[in-house]
Amino acid sequence: MSIAMPRQIGRSLRACIGGLLLLPLAAQANFGFESDLTNWTTYETVTIGTGGDYSTTGYLWTVNPHETKMAVMVPSGASGAFTSVADALGLSTASRTYLTTQFPNTTNFAYIQRDVVLTAGQEFTMAWNYVSTDYVPFNDGSFVSLVNLTDPANVPTVYGVAAEVAILGATNPGTGNYSTGSYGSTGWQTATFRAATAGTYRLGFAVFNLTDTILPPYLFVDQEPGATFLNGQPFAPIDPDVNAPPPAGPVNGQCGSASGQSFVEPPVSGLCSAGTASSVTAGSSSFGWTCQGLSGGSDQVCSASNAAAAEPIPVPTLTEWGLLLLSGLLAVLGLRGARRAGWHGGHGA
Ligand SMILES: [Ca+2]
Ligand SMILES: [Ca+2]
């Protein structure tokens, strides 16, 4: 008992210190919507969902939250809302240009946003799930934003890219970072954020119709991934779209795991961990390629050893010499044997 007391105090102190380190997010609670929409500002159709069925043509999607509640967003209201949405989210001119370039025909929206105090370099994540009730080619989409209100020139990192905005789910292949196709879902995905300088940031999630206001998509948001089911079966999050649009900020090319390794044929995977891989060229002793930066990012030149060029040359040469020596030896031995047999024969006769 007398020993347990100090231990308990020690534990409490450690818990307090842990809480202080996490203060910025902890002090502004309800990132997981367990207290409904407290601390969030909403626009158009935003409700609190406790999980359930969301049917699209031919598919029964079941989307459940992390813990008990999540935000459920559906674009509605008047068309032509982009500028007022961008104003509310605090987007820079560059971010607006990026979004209107990728999605020139947005009509109506729904969004949620809140201000978050972050320390320099602080990281956090949020989860989201886009469900399309529309079908190709009638595209719809969604994006996330994190704007440095204190120091707008120092943009944060969203999904690994130095930019205020990142496209999330979209319906048409090649238009989202995660594209569902007709009536599909991205499953629960995790967005990553990293503050630049210390300050107040505005976090926003937006979902929109394109061209018309028919068959609006859903965007579900929670602090951690929930669960998704398709026709009652567990549905895993989909992979990123390999033909996704360029990111909103520069991405420097970076060599992948194949760099510096040894191959007998040109490597086809692990070429780049960031950027777009060029075709692989085969030299006499090495393979070479370039990881090309995106949206103004720098390129990186990468190489791997060409084992096929180095190995086969000495091996046949040695074998050939060996065979030549062996046949020469056999010829000499055969001749001597014949001579000795002759001598013996002669001697014995
Ligand atoms: Ca939740
Ligand atoms: Ca639509």
User: Tens digits of per-residue pLDDT, 132-155?
Assistant: 999 999 999 999 999 999 999 999
Nearest listed ligand to the Cα of residue 29: 1
Distance CA 135, CA 141 (A): 12
Nearest listed ligand to the Cα of residue 71: 1
Nearest listed ligand to the Cα of residue 211: 2
Nearest listed ligand to the Cα of residue 48: 1
- Please report how many Cα atoms fall inside a 13 Å half-sphere around the Cα of residue 228, on the Cβ side: 25
Strand partners, 110: 207
Q: How confident is the model at residue 251 (pLDDT cuts 50, 70, 90)?
A: confident
Q: How far is the CA of 166 from the centre of ligand 2 (A)?
A: 20
Q: How confident is the model at residue 295 (pLDDT cuts 50, 70, 90)?
A: confident
- Cα-based distances in Å from 291 to 160, 242, 271, 273, 287: 17, 15, 8, 8, 13
Nearest listed ligand to the Cα of residue 224: 1
Domains of the chain (ranges; CATH) run 22-234 (2.60.120.260), 254-310 (no CATH)
* In contact, 71 and 33? CB cutoff 8 Å: yes
The single-letter code of the amino acid at 130 is: Y
Strand partners, 210: 106
User: Which residue, chain included where needed, has tokens 């777009």?
Assistant: 276
Does residue 24 carry a pLDDT above 80?
A: no
Q: How far is the CA of 218 from the centre of ligand 2 (A)?
A: 10
Mark the residues whose beta carbon lies below 5 A from ion ligand 2: 134, 140, 209, 215
Mean pLDDT, residues 258-275: 95
Mean pLDDT, residues 256-284: 95
Q: How far is the CA of 76 from the centre of ligand 2 (A)?
A: 10
Burial of 286 (0-12, 13-18, 19+ CB in 10 A): middle
Residue 124's region, left for phi above 0, alpha for psi from -120 to 50, else beta, is beta
| Percentage helix, strand, coil for the chain under 3-state DSSP, each rounded to 5 | 25, 35, 40
Q: How far is the CA of 91 from the centre of ligand 1 (A)?
A: 27
Which pLDDT does position 20 carry in this prediction?
A: 44
User: Which residue, chain included where needed, has tokens 């309800």?
Assistant: 30
Which three-class secondary structure state does DSSP give residue 42? Answer: strand
Nearest listed ligand to the Cα of residue 105: 2
Which pLDDT does position 308 carry in this prediction?
A: 82
The runs of H, that is alpha helices, within 143-292 are none
Q: How far is the CA of 199 from the centre of ligand 2 (A)?
A: 37
Q: List Cβ neighbours of 228 (8 Å cut-off, separation of 6 or more).
A: 61, 62, 63, 64, 129, 185, 187, 188, 234, 235, 237
For residue range 217-233, list pLDDT tens digits in order: 999 999 999 999 999 99
User: Using alpha carbons only, how large is the chain's radius of gyration in Å?
Assistant: 32
Mean pLDDT, residues 103-108: 98
Q: How far is the CA of 129 from the centre of ligand 1 (A)?
A: 13
Does residue 105 carry a pLDDT above 80?
A: yes
pTM of the model: 0.75
Nearest to 94 by CA among 165, 168, 194, 169: 165
Nearest listed ligand to the Cα of residue 210: 2
Q: How far is the CA of 190 from the centre of ligand 1 (A)?
A: 14
Distance CA 229, CA 236 (A): 8
DSSP-derived secondary structure letter, 76: B
* In contact, 182 and 146? CB cutoff 8 Å: no
Q: How far is the CA of 66 from the centre of ligand 1 (A)?
A: 4
Nearest listed ligand to the Cα of residue 225: 1
β-strands 161-162, 178-179 pairing: unpaired
Mean pLDDT, residues 147-168: 96
Mark the residues whose beta carbon lies below 5 A from ion ligand 1: 32-33, 65-67, 69, 222
Per the document, the length of the chain is: 349
Percent of the chain with pLDDT over 70: 80
Is there a cis peptide before residue 156, judged by omega within 30 degrees of 0? no
Distance CA 178, CA 184 (A): 11
Distance CA 274, CA 277 (A): 9
Distance CA 286, CA 258 (A): 12
